[in-house]
Amino acid sequence: MPKIEVNEEVFYTLAGCPGGKSIWKTRDAFEAALSCAKAELDEDSDKSLPPPERVLKIELNDTNRPDLWGTAGCARQLRVYNGGKAPEYPFFSSPGNLKSAGRKVIVEASVQKVRPCLAGFIASGKAISDPMLRDMIQTQEKLAWNFGRKRRTISMGLYRSSIIRWPIIYKGVDPDSVSFVPLQWDTPLSLREILKQHPKGKEYAFIQEHEPVHPLLTDASGSVLSYPPIINSADLGAVQVGDTDLFVELTGTDQAALTLAASIVACDMADNGFTIEPVEVEYQFDTPFGRTCVTPYYFQEPVFCSLARIEKYLGREINAGDCVQALARMGVRAEKALDTERGAGTGAGTAGTGAGAAGETGTGSGGANAGTVPGVKAWPPEYRNDFLHAADVMEDIMMGRGLADFKPERPRDFTIGRLTAVTLLSRRIKELMTGLGYQEMIYNYLGSRKDLVDNMRGDGRRIIRISNPMTENYEYVRDSILASLVQSESVSGHAAYPHRIFETGKVAYRDPAENYGTATRQYLGFLHAGAESGFNTAAAELQTLFYYLSRDYGVEESADRRFIPGRAAAIIHRKKNIGVFGELHPEVLENWGITVPCTACEFDAEALL
């Protein structure tokens, strides 16, 4: 979960505490207050330091609220929750109402297939202090690293706007054709040289190194602002303490996520006392927000939530007025509403059901109000876009009222728990594998495409990709246990051979026969590494295992690309192919840096039930 470091004095000031001093007398009281932001105090400040140097460390327990990943955003939530007025941000544009912008960024068609999206704004009227600059850099890194997938989908840059000549040009260039002096460097480097020599270039080279065209941001005179998403220039991009006028820019691949990130930063800077001025972004190609977009830009849609749903999930009656007040404590604008489009009454004096906005299901009343669903309509704040469903509105209502408002209830149903058949089978398999001299391993179910597909000579047809991963290292759900086992072997060359490891765990893969198009199954996988390891090794272990499980099986020739042709066999049980075993292909071993022969086996354990 994200952790942030906040200057104690600045945080308490933004949280509405007089004189920048905490109004919470104890640590427990402060932690209770932080619960409205799903946060907790990770480490208190060092009281031996003078107040301006004290730092609080706060851990956020919700990755759906990137607006809380900075000092201003987290403090804003506390301030509003404790009765402070929700801030207003009049500088936002919205669909059909693009505010005038005196400055323009032109996005050329040459970046459309590389890094097509851009958002930006001007922040002026206040000199940047050291704590403020540190917090801006922290927010930049948190958004780019977590929300922006290590800068792949979102990156951010700060520039001294007073020396920029407008309009700014965002274009794609040959990486060998342009040179400039990057930040923290003394001599000019080409874009390709930056990727090979500059520390930031080496760290983020994976984003651009294989692209024929690289993005570049320049002003009207041709001076370079930055090489997104790698590094700023040492001239226009060298922001320092004391600067008063900033151009804040974000580039990326997902326009909605990018625009939200820009909105978060703009709101944070406005709360810090800056004047925010919009910037017009003119595209030479079509985008989801049109060819012209003035940012900061409010694009979020309102969400309706019925009172029936709220009462069902909160377990108590609650009127619409109380819901509106609870949402206001969370900084959410809301109003009482009747969903007339989706309600469906069934007659006078009877109850009917209807579907509300965003997939909502509610209860309509008969008689005069037939066909309507009473509830609340909520508009996400400019810095939030996590209202994907009516349940999200209900959650904010619950948090706005406070957990202490809900009395604990005893369970009304008496049940007796028991282990499932697959759990009992898995435990039996673990006992047998341990008895065969294997060591049990436990792995993550998520991984990267490189590990799960490329290094295993796979084609990726079955693998499931997460649509909004936080990092590329956990972007795919594993469809096999073998990649996890081989990864362990790749870092175990120092241990005495032979190596015997196994895991029983879940895998998931695409399956058109299932209702949701995917299947989740319990698998067993084991690996044997050593000079004597061969096909007969895996065959003997498999035969022993099935004997003690009292199961029959047969074998057929397998063409699995992970194994050496002619030295692999499919496992057949009840006329179905449930797995494979054999000698791992030399290319797989080379991909992982393994220097000894390895045999492996995996099969669907649930198929044995």
**Per residue in 11-24, pLDDT tens?**
999 999 998 889 99
Extract the tokens encoding 169. Answer: 């040009």
281, 136: one domain: yes
How does strand 168-173 pair with strand 104-107? parallel
**Contact criterion met (CB below 8 Å) for 185 and 241:** no
273, 324: one domain: no
198, 316: one domain: no
277, 325: one domain: no
Supply the pLDDT for residue 359. Answer: 45
* DSSP one-letter code for 403: G
**Contact criterion met (CB below 8 Å) for 394 and 314:** yes
> pLDDT digit string (tens) for 68-82?
999 999 999 999 999
* 90 located within any domain: no
**Contact criterion met (CB below 8 Å) for 56 and 6:** yes
Give the domain CATH number at 291: 3.50.40.10
From first CA to last CA, the distance across the chain in angstroms is 38
Supply the pLDDT for residue 267. Answer: 96
* 141 located within any domain: yes
Residue 456 belongs to what domain range? 421-608
Local structure of 432: helix, strand or coil: helix
Give the domain CATH number at 47: 3.30.56.10
Local structure of 431: helix, strand or coil: helix
Last residue of a domain, one of 278, 295, 312: 295
**Contact criterion met (CB below 8 Å) for 168 and 254:** no
124, 210: one domain: yes
* 156 located within any domain: yes
485, 391: one domain: no
In 3D space, the residue among 468, 92, 98, 137 whose CA is nearest the CA of residue 263 turns out to be: 92
210, 358: one domain: no
Residue 216 pairs in a beta bridge with 171
46, 153: one domain: no
DSSP 527-573: EEESTT--HHHHHHHHHHHHHHHT---EEEE---TTEEEEEEEEEEE
**Contact criterion met (CB below 8 Å) for 283 and 107:** yes
447, 590: one domain: yes
312, 461: one domain: no
**Contact criterion met (CB below 8 Å) for 350 and 336:** no
User: What's the total number of domains in the chain?
Assistant: 4
> pLDDT digit string (tens) for 87-126?
999 999 999 999 988 899 999 999 999 999 999 999 999 8
pTM above 0.85, yes or no: no
Extract the tokens encoding 105. Answer: 């960024």
152, 275: one domain: yes
Supply the pLDDT for residue 129. Answer: 85
* 89 located within any domain: no
> How far are the Cα atoms of 195, 211, 216, 249 from residue 198, in angstroms, in the given order?
6, 18, 17, 22
> How far are the Cα atoms of 26, 230, 587, 600 from residue 154, in angstroms, in the given order?
38, 11, 35, 40
Extract the tokens encoding 570. Answer: 């499919």
* 393 located within any domain: yes
- pLDDT of residue 476 exceeding 90: yes
* 228 located within any domain: yes
Q: pLDDT averaged over the chain? A: 91
494, 472: one domain: yes
Supply the pLDDT for residue 344. Answer: 42
- The residue-averaged pLDDT of 18-34 equals 90
**Residue type present at position 20:** G
- The residue-averaged pLDDT of 426-454 equals 96
- The residue-averaged pLDDT of 569-575 equals 96
The H or E element spanning position 476 is strand 476-477
Extract the tokens encoding 177. Answer: 């054709």
